[in-house]
Amino acid sequence: MPDDIFFKLSQNLYDIRIFGITTKGDTIESPYLLNIVSEKESTRIIDFKTINSSHAAEGYYYTFEVLTKETINQIKLAFNRKNFNWQIKLEGSLDQQKWFTIIKDYRILSIKNNDTDFQFTKLTFPESTYVYYRLLINAKESPELSHVSIKQQETIEGKYKNYPVKNWNSIENKKLKQTEIDIDLQFPLPVSSIKLNIDTAIDYYRPITIKYISDSIETEKGWKYNYKVLSTEILNSNKENIFQFESTILQKLRLIIHNQDNQSLSIGSIEAKAYVHEIIARFNEPAAYYLTYGNQGTKKANYDIKQFVDKIPDTLFTLELGEEQIILQPELSKSSPLFNDKKWLWVVMTLIIILLAGFTIKMMKRV
């Protein structure tokens, strides 16, 4: 779907229809699927057993033996402790004699208080096929490791479009202790991801709220914007600050970084992305076909084709849209009033009053 079509569609995309006009003049409707090419993930749990746990001056060691010859790329940890900030080192071995470093200086973090409940305890690393894995946590006291899950996660990458940010502006709201960033795109687009590149070279952990302008009203004092929340996330130095949310057609965003009592962060650049949107349609007979949209009151289409996705051929013909044609609705003819001039209306009302008065006087004389 071309980028410039989205600002003409309803937010839920329900108004898309494909109609065809046959040579006989009959109108037919073609079924379609709207395919948003997002990531698809599958996770497989790997069997293992803990064969050793110990501690030394550098920290606490845990050794695991994988019971099958499978590749792993993720380890999820859980602890009884609620607040910590530790460095992790993960090694692999085939015989427990020679160890190879998989990741090091990998930070895991947990913060829990009245304002925040946040944990980052998932180790993600390149695919590895070792028999033994040794984990070092540089904690001074026992980490109280309560649960370990070893996984193989496979991700089929989605198709993204990068959208240039037209401009953005950052304002420090010292009263509310927050940074407000207003972002403008070139035109309304189905954005599903925002990335913030932070230039500040310190560790940070800040709640962030992502909003977009859903509608606006022009008042005597200027435009008044109504915002809707897309997502509430955590901006932190442990990972790339990429925030994903449900694909939403928007042009203006506002990001609010809650600095609390910390110094504000320096924003280097901002990136916006969206999944590629495809329409997969079935054409049953020759006709002149039209992709129509713009009817905001249309309900979501319900076609049989969605039950047979597995039968859609792998190779499809790619179609391009032609020039847009505006369908003008015929104006309803307005019936002319019986009296265009108000003077005639007053004359008629006066006559009616005189007639009523005459009938009343006659009836009173008879009495």
Task: Let me know if the fold of 42-156 is the same as that of 160-275.
Answer: yes
Helices (H) and strands (E) in the chain, counts: 1, 22
Note the pLDDT tens digit of each residue in 239-282.
Answer: 889 999 989 999 999 999 999 889 999 999 999 999 999 999 99
CATH topology of domain 160-275: Jelly Rolls (2.60.120)
Please give the C-alpha separations between residue 237 and each of 17, 34, 201, 203, 242, in angstroms, as whole numbers. Answer: 45, 37, 9, 5, 12
Instruction: Find where tokens 């940074």 sit.
Output: 179
Least confident of 63-77, 98-112, 220-234, 242-256: 220-234
- Position 338 pLDDT exceeds 60: no
Is 42-156 a domain of CATH 2.60.120.260?
yes
Would you list the domain boundaries of the chain?
42-156, 160-275
Per-residue pLDDT, averaged over 220-244, amounts to 87
**Cβ atoms 161, 186 nearer than 8 A:** no
Which of 181-217 are b and which e, b meaning 16 or more Cβ less than 10 Å from the residue's Cβ? bebebeebbbbbbbebebeeeeebbbbbbbbbbeeee
Could you give the CA distance from residue 132 to residue 123 in angstroms, rounded to a whole number? 16
- For the four alpha carbons of 297, 303, 307 and 310, in that order, the dihedral sign comes to negative
pLDDT at 336: 55
Residue type, 93: S
Least confident of 5-9, 35-39, 102-106, 363-367: 363-367
Percentage of the residues of the chain whose pLDDT score is greater than 70:
93
Q: Is the pLDDT of residue 356 over 80?
A: no
Segment 119-132, tens digit of pLDDT? 889 999 999 999 99
Cα–Cα–Cα angle for 27, 31, 36, nearest 5°?
A: 140
H-only helix segments in 240-329: none
Rounded to an integer, the average pLDDT of 35-54 is: 90
Tell me which of 120 and 341 has the higher pLDDT: 120
